[in-house]
A and B are shown apart, each in its own frame.
Chain A
Amino acid sequence: MQADAKIRTESGTESGPRGPNCSLRHFACEQNLLSRPDGSASFLQGDTSVLAGVYGPAEVKVSKEIFNKATLEVILRPKIGLPGISEKSRERLIRNTCEAVVLGTLHPRTSITVVLQVVSDAGSLLACCLNAACMALVDAGVPMRALFCGVTCALNADGTLVLDPTAKQEKEARAVLTLALDSVERKLLMSTTKGLYSDAELQQSLAAAQAASQHVFRFYRESLQRRYSKS
Chain B
Amino acid sequence: MAAGFKTVEPLEYYRRFLKENCRPDGRELGEFRTTTVNIGSISTADGSALVKLGNTTVICGIKAEFAAPPTDGPDKGYVVPNVDLPPLCSSRFRSGPPGEEAQVASQFIADVIENSQIIQKEDLCISPGKLSWVLYCDIICLDYDGNILDACTFALLAALKNVQLPEVTINEETGLAEVNLKKKSYLNIRTHPVATSFAVFDDTLLIVDPTGEEEHLATGTLTVVMDEEGKLCCLHKPGGSGLTGAKLQDCMSRAVTRHKEVKKLMDEVIKSMKPK
Contact = CB atoms under 8 A, between A and B. Distances in A.
Interface of A: 85-86, 88-89, 91-100, 177, 180-182, 185, 187-199, 202-203, 206-207
A88 B245 contact: no
6 contacts: A92-B238, A93-B239, A96-B238, A100-B219, A194-B114, A196-B231
A89 B103 contact: yes
A183 B95 CA distance: 41
B194 interface: no
Contacts of B235: 177, 191-193, 202
B140 interface: no
Contacts of A191: 235-237
Interface stretch (B41-49, B104-112, B207-215): B104-112
A203 B232 contact: no
Contacts of A100: 219-220, 239-242
B262 interface: no
Contacts of A202: 232, 235, 248, 252
Which of B111, B230, B237 neighbours the largest number of chain A CB atoms within 10 Å of its CB? B237
Contact of B107 (A85, A185, A196): A85
B interface residue count range (under 10 / 10 to 19 / 20 to 34 / 35 or more): 20 to 34
A96 B245 contact: no
B230 A199 contact: yes
Interface in B216-247: 219-220, 227, 230-245
A194 B115 contact: yes
Contact of B238 (A190, A193, A196): A190
B245 A86 contact: no
B100 interface: yes
Given A89-B107, A189-B240, A196 B245 contact: no
A196 B248 contact: no
Nearest to A94: B239
A92 B237 contact: no
Which of A94, A182, A195 neighbours the largest number of chain B CB atoms within 10 Å of its CB? A195
B107 A86 contact: yes
Given A89-B107, A198-B230, 7 more contacts: A85-B107, A96-B238, A97-B238, A100-B242, A198-B232, A199-B249, A203-B245
Contacts of A85: 103-104, 106-107
Interface string B137-175: 000000000000000000000000000000000000000
